[in-house]
Structure formats: C-alpha cells, structure tokens
C-alpha cells in the first residue's frame, strides 16, 4: 500500500503546483471512501482499489469513456472528475495519457467544432457581440444585417442587463420537444417552435418517445433530411406538412472531417449520389436559395450549378477559427497528406521525409497561424516538452489571471524554448507592444492586429509573433479543477432523478428546478422527490451494439449486419426474470414511469446485475407494440425493426450541457 498511499497524498505535477489531494495515508481512511462509493455505485471496494492502484503504478495511462460518462444530469461532473484524476497522476500532456471520449461517428468532433450547437458560433467563440462581429468580418457581411435577422426583443437578463435572443443560448436538440410543447409564456423566446428540420438526426436515440411523437404531430412543418427514412418519418401520425429529402452518404460526397483526436482528413468521393439523393452542401444551397440568403451565405464560395465548392467552404472556416487553430489545415495540405500517407510513422503519426516532412498526420488542431506558417499540428494537448512551433502546448489562460486572490497563471511551468519562463495571459496587440515585440509584425499585420487579440486578429500576426518567441497564443495558465461558474464548482455525486435508492437522495440530492435553462423551464428536484421505485423497481440503462450505429436506420438496412442482430431485446438477470415469470427469448413488456411501454425480447443473462436491465438504443420502426411498416415509403423499411428503448426512457438533463440522461432510469418488466 505504500506507493498507493504516497499517490493519494500531496500530488504536485508539472502542471498543478497546488495541493490536489489531501487524504489520510492510512488504508482505513481510503477504504472508508471505497465503502461509500460501493454503497452509492455498487462497484466493489476491492475492484476500485485495484483500478486505482493500476492507474497509479502503471503510468502513463489513459481514461476513456463514451456516453456512459456524459448522459447523466451530472455528466459534466463525471467528465471533469476524470480530468482531475488524470491531472493528479501526471497523465496529461504525455503520450498514452489524457482523457479521451470515443465518438459514435467519424465527424462528431468536426460538427461540434463548426458550431452545430445552440450556444456558440464556429470555433467556440460563443454568442457575444464581439463574437458576432468577428464572424461578420470573416463572412464579409454587414453586422447590422445579421443582427436584424433576429428578434429584437429581450426575454432574458444577464445581471441587470436585458439580452436578446441573438446573444442567448438557443434550445438544444435534446430539448426541442419541450420547445414545441411548453406554454409559450414559459419559454424565453417569442413563441414555441413551429417547424423542425431533422437533418441526419435519429429521434429514437432521444428520450421521452411519447412526448416526442406528440411534438412531431403538433408542428406546422417537419422536414427529414437523411439517406434513409429515419424513425422521424414513421413514428408520427401526420397526414401533411411532412417532407422527406434524400441525402447522400459519406461515400457520395467529399470534403474534410475532424476525428476525436482533433485530426482532419480529406475524404474523397467514391461514387456519384444514387437515385435522387443530394449531398448536404447542395441541399443547404437549395434551402438558402429558396429562403433568399444564398448570396450572403455563399458570398465568397464558388457555386458550380447548385453545388458549392467545399474547398472554398474549408478556406472560409480556415480564415475565422483562430480560437482552436483551425486555420492551418487548408484543402491543399490535407490532400497532400492523403496522397503521402505512406510517409507517416504509424506510431508517432509524424511524416518522415517527403513533401509533408515534420507534419503530424491530420494536422491536429490547434494547427496555429496562417497556412503559410506550416505549423505541423498539435498531436498531444498540453505537452510542454515540445516548443509550440513543433506541436507543444500549455494550458490555456481562458479564465482571467486571478480568482479570489489566487493566481491562475502557471508558475515555473512553460513550453520548451519559451522566451517567457513563467505563466502569462492570452496574447493581444497591446501585450505585444509591452513586450517589445510589436515591430516584428509586418505593416499589414499591424493594421489588422491593432486593438485585437490572438483569436480576432484575422492576419494571424499576433499568433505568428507569439509562436516565434516560443509562446502559446492563448496564454499559459494552471489547469482549472474548480469551475466557479458551474452549478457544482467541484465535481460531486448527485442521485439520478428516477432512482430506487431513496436512502441516497437526502445525502446526494439533485438540483432545484430551474425557471430558465437554454430558454426552457427544467425540472430536477420536483421529479426526484417522487418515489417511483415501488411500481418501477428495476434500474434501466442503455447503450450501443457492435452491429449497429446511431439510430440504426442505415445499418439495420444492411442485410449482412441485420442478419447478426435480428431482434430488439432487454438484458435481464435470471433472478429478475424468474420473479417476473419471464423466460429467455420470450417477448416481454417494459413499462417506464412516464407512461411509455415497449414490447421486446427477453435476453436472460447474469452479465447484468440483479435489479438492473440493459437495452440497446439502435432500434426503431415499432412503437408501443405496433409495427410501423405501413408508414415507410415503399421499399425503404429496414430489414430489422424493433422498439426504441427511448420510448420508455425518461426526463433528465445535464446541469451544464443539457445532455439527456439515458444512462439511468427506472422500469418494470412483465410477461406478454
């Protein structure tokens, strides 16, 4: 126990020159913690100790999760705890370390980076006036023209200031049904949602199925854009106002994608679009033309007939996304890497000779500065052993320089070859002047950088000069373990809204209900205070299968994959199955506490604990016992159809991100 005891004592790493962990080194104290976590989570004390020892004694080690970490009301607490854990072990900024979320698609990272979210512009610039003005300049559009496209009334306040919808978080996809069904007087916008365009969206991967069906039927207009008719197209009983637009698959188009490791690749078209399907960017151009803003949207993007040039789209985001270093990965550089894949070392991902010599494959962001700088990309975040010019990095100084009297900048920690051998704030034009580096800018760069900072200077001059002196453009700070703006500044456990552990609710209560969260009233405590466990005693969770992906419409339409997994099922422990009078491979009803019921096959297995059931979320095409085959356009129904587990999954949203809670609810099972 000695090495583990030392680990949980005072942890000082090169990143955190602060006390991260204060714990009694006696085994009894640690086991007291293990006993409590066993009481709360069910994980055995010995297993937790073994995992902690393995991580402590075999470094570096990485921390990997998928949706099981995020899809909770406290998902943000979970993921922050993983990061703090890795910081304490010194596993950040090293090869084989870090915290890594596995994605379900090859371009989820890229979609997020491009701002396909309700609360930010591309590159995580947010929605401030400065952010809008920055992008207006990138797009070469008049700021007032953009501003006047928004409702000019205010429905929310920040402090004492009224703030309009242009600057407030919109309704996220996880809550669109509430944007339709809530009373408009309870929503922080001028009206409820009247129309939805569900573009590449699997509704069966979203909770609260019966309410979703009601929301679909209340809409005035609903458009589904997908290669296959998704569950959106068939689960509602609409007779009009529903349009299906066939989209091409990834093999029928081209362009860049960003993977979970922040690397970008150029994807080449394999075949032309089949049937009447069209690539996403063509559909977008047709929409913009019909709605009257194509001239603005494609102002500096060449359009060949109805198809915008993706290379120009890429160059446009290159010219604006300075925050995360999306500026150096031009179409030409990505194509060159694709053509010279054989020159990259498969372990280091670094090109050895050839036209890409010294570059990291995918030019992982941040790939700083202009393309002419030829930054190689950043293969590991926060690796101070390299210079910034060679792919090294510090922690970002994003949250000011002090808080509550504590210095937030790094102390005695800096990247290799840095001219500033200590912490420093993010770079601005004024900072360059104070450092005596201003005259290293060209005349054109000086004009562009005046009054700007590293993320709003469109010339890239501030970034170029900072990196020339070995500095990270976004500053050099301590890692932030305490997020004072969040509901829980330090990660803590809170019980799920639907829990059968009533003994834990008093010690680990959820949040109070919120009047406005992403424009919507959001319930927490008012649900948790109700005891559903007598009628719905089983803990219900969900997850993925190897055979299918996402909502499953495409993969369940593949005969080879469909053959491998032909039935929607629920995994039930033998003890629970016997209590319910259910046998293996029999049909059972699964009832949820919000009124949804689904009929699925029983998979009786000891691999789930007694009291816990598991269902995959890839199925659709059945709804509460009914096969929806007749609702599909002729010839488009998947080979395999089944109930969506999310018909019975319930209300619950992360306190920061509004991510749905799909990893824990309650249910009961009964024989058909």
Q: What is the mean pLDDT of the chain?
A: 93
Burial readout 78-103 (b: 16 or more C-beta within 10 A, e: otherwise): bbbbbbbbbbbbbbbbbeebbbebeb
Per-residue pLDDT band for 159 (boundaries 50, 70, 90) equals confident
Nearest one of 591, 623, 501 to 231, comparing CA atoms = 623
Listed in order, the ranges of the chain carrying CATH 3.40.50.740 are 108-325
Per-residue pLDDT band for 104 (boundaries 50, 70, 90) equals confident
Copy the structure tokens of residue 536: 């719905």
Residue percentage of the chain with pLDDT more than 70: 95
Give the C-alpha distances (Å, rounded to integers) separating 550 from 104, 443, 556, 671: 7, 51, 10, 29
pLDDT of the residue at 296: 98
Average pLDDT for 114-125: 95
pLDDT of the residue at 37: 84
Tell me the pLDDT tens digit for each residue of 331-384. 999 999 999 999 999 999 999 999 999 999 999 999 999 999 999 999 999 999
Tell me the pLDDT tens digit for each residue of 406-456. 999 999 999 999 999 999 999 999 999 999 999 999 999 999 999 999 999
Helix (H) or strand (E) holding 196: strand 195-199
Average pLDDT for 564-587: 97
CATH architecture of structural domain 108-325: 3-Layer(aba) Sandwich (3.40)
8 A C-beta contact, residue 462 and residue 473:
yes
pLDDT of the residue at 13: 38
Tell me, yes or no, if the pTM score tops 0.85.
yes
pLDDT of the residue at 425: 98
Per-residue pLDDT band for 34 (boundaries 50, 70, 90) equals confident
Average pLDDT for 2-23: 34
pLDDT of the residue at 26: 42
Alpha helices in 102-161 (DSSP H): 108-113, 129-139, 143-147
pLDDT of the residue at 35: 82
pLDDT of the residue at 60: 95
pLDDT at 6 exceeding the cut of 70: no
Average pLDDT for 495-509: 97
pLDDT of the residue at 225: 97
**Number of CB atoms found within 10 A of residue 152's CB:** 9
Q: Is 56 helix (H, G, I), strand (E, B) or coil?
A: helix
Alpha helices in 152-208 (DSSP H): 176-181
pLDDT of the residue at 29: 56
Least confident piece of the model among 1-5, 388-392, 414-418, 468-472: 1-5
pLDDT at 15 exceeding the cut of 50: no
Tell me the pLDDT tens digit for each residue of 539-567. 999 999 999 999 999 999 999 999 999 99
pLDDT of the residue at 3: 31
Least confident piece of the model among 103-112, 623-632, 641-650: 103-112
Tell me the pLDDT tens digit for each residue of 49-101. 899 899 999 999 999 998 889 999 999 999 999 999 999 999 999 999 999 98
- DSSP for 557-570, please give it: GSHHHHHH--S-EE
8 A C-beta contact, residue 445 and residue 461:
yes
pLDDT of the residue at 22: 35
Listed in order, the ranges of the chain carrying CATH 2.40.40.20 are 502-671
User: For residue 659, what are the contacts with CB-CB under 8 A and spacing of at least 6?
Assistant: 70, 71, 72, 75, 174, 653
Edge-to-edge strand list for the sheet holding 195-199: 195-199, 221-226, 242-246
8 A C-beta contact, residue 79 and residue 70:
yes
Residues 431, 435: Cα–Cα separation, whole Å:
6
pLDDT at 142 exceeding the cut of 90: yes
8 A C-beta contact, residue 540 and residue 667:
yes
Per-residue pLDDT band for 105 (boundaries 50, 70, 90) equals confident
Describe the crossing of helices 310-318 and 331-339 by its angle, rounded to 10 degrees: 110
Residues 494, 508: Cα–Cα separation, whole Å:
5
pLDDT at 278 exceeding the cut of 70: yes
pLDDT of the residue at 221: 98
pLDDT of the residue at 11: 34
Per-residue pLDDT band for 45 (boundaries 50, 70, 90) equals confident
Specify the CATH number for 502-671; select among 3.40.50.300, 2.40.40.20, 3.60.10.10, 1.25.40.10. Answer: 2.40.40.20
């Amino acid at each position: 126990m000695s090495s583990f005891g030392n680990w949980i004592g005072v942890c000082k790493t090169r990143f955190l020159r602060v006390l991260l962990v204060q714990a009694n080194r006696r085994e009894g104290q640690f086991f007291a913690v293990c006993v409590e976590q066993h009481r709360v989570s069910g994980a055995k004390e010995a297993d937790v100790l073994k995992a902690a020892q393995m991580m402590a004694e075999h470094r570096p080690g990485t921390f990997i999760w998928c949706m099981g970490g995020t899809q909770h009301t406290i998902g943000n607490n979970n993921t922050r705890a993983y990061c703090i854990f890795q910081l304490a072990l010194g596993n950040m900024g090293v090869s084989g370390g870090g915290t890594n979320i596995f994605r379900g698609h090859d371009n989820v990272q890229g979609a997020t980076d491009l701002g396909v979210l309700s609360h930010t512009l591309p590159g995580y610039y947010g929605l401030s006036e400065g952010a809008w003005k920055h992008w207006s300049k990138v797009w070469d559009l008049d700021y007032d023209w953009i501003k006047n496209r928004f409702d000019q009334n205010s429905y929310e306040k920040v402090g004492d200031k009224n703030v309009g919808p242009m600057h407030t978080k919109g309704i996220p996809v996880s809550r669109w049904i509430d944007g339709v069904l809530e009373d408009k007087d309870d929503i922080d916008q001028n009206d409820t949602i009247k129309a939805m365009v569900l573009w590449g969206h699997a509704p069966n991967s979203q909770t609260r199925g019966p309410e979703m069906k009601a929301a679909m039927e209340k809409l005035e207009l609903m458009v589904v854009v997908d290669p296959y008719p998704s569950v959106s197209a068939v689960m509602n009983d609409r007779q009009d106002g529903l349009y299906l637009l066939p989209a091409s698959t990834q093999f029928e188009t081209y362009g860049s994608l960003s993977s979970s490791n922040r690397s970008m690749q150029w994807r080449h078209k394999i075949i032309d679009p089949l049937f009447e399907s069209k690539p996403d960017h063509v559909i977008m151009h047709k929409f913009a033309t019909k709605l009257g803003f194509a001239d603005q949207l494609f102002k500096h993007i060449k359009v060949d007939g109805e198809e915008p040039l993706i290379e120009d789209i890429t160059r446009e985001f290159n010219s604006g996304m300075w925050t995360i270093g999306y500026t150096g990965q031009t179409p030409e550089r990505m194509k060159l890497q694709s053509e010279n894949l054989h020159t990259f070392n498969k372990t280091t991902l670094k090109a050895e000779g050839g036209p890409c010599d010294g570059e990291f494959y995918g030019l992982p962001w941040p790939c700083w500065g202009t393309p002419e700088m030829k930054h190689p990309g950043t293969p590991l975040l926060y690796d101070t052993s390299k210079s910034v010019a060679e792919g090294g990095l510090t922690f970002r100084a994003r949250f000011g320089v002090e808080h509550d009297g504590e210095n937030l900048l790094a102390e005695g920690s800096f990247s290799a070859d840095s001219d500033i051998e200590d912490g420093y704030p993010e770079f601005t034009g004024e900072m360059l002047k104070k450092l005596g580096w201003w005259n290293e800018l060209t005349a054109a760069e000086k004009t562009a950088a005046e009054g700007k900072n590293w993320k709003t200077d469109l010339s890239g001059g501030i970034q170029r000069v900072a990196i020339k002196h070995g500095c990270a453009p976004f500053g050099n700070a301590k890692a932030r373990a305490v997020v004072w703006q969040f509901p829980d500044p330090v990660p803590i456990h809170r019980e799920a809204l639907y829990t059968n552990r009533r003994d834990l609710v008093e010690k680990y209560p959820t949040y109070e209900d919120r009047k406005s969260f992403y424009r919507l009233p959001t319930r927490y405590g008012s649900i948790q205070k109700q005891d559903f466990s007598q009628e719905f005693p089983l803990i219900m969770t969900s997850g993925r299968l190897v055979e299918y992906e996402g909502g499953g419409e495409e993969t369940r339409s593949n005969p080879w994959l469909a053959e491998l997994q032909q039935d929607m099922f629920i995994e039930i422990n033998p003890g629970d199955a016997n209590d319910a009078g259910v046998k293996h491979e029999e049909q059972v009803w699964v009832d949820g506490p919000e009124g949804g019921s689904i009929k699925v096959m029983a998979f009786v297995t000891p691999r789930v604990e007694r009291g816990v059931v598991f269902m995959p979320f890839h199925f659709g095409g059945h709804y509460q016992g009914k096969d929806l085959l007749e609702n599909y356009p002729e010839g488009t129904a998947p080979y395999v159809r089944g109930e969506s587990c999310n018909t019975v999954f319930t209300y619950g949203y992360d306190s920061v991100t509004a991510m749905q809670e799909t990893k824990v609810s309650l249910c009961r099972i009964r024989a058909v």
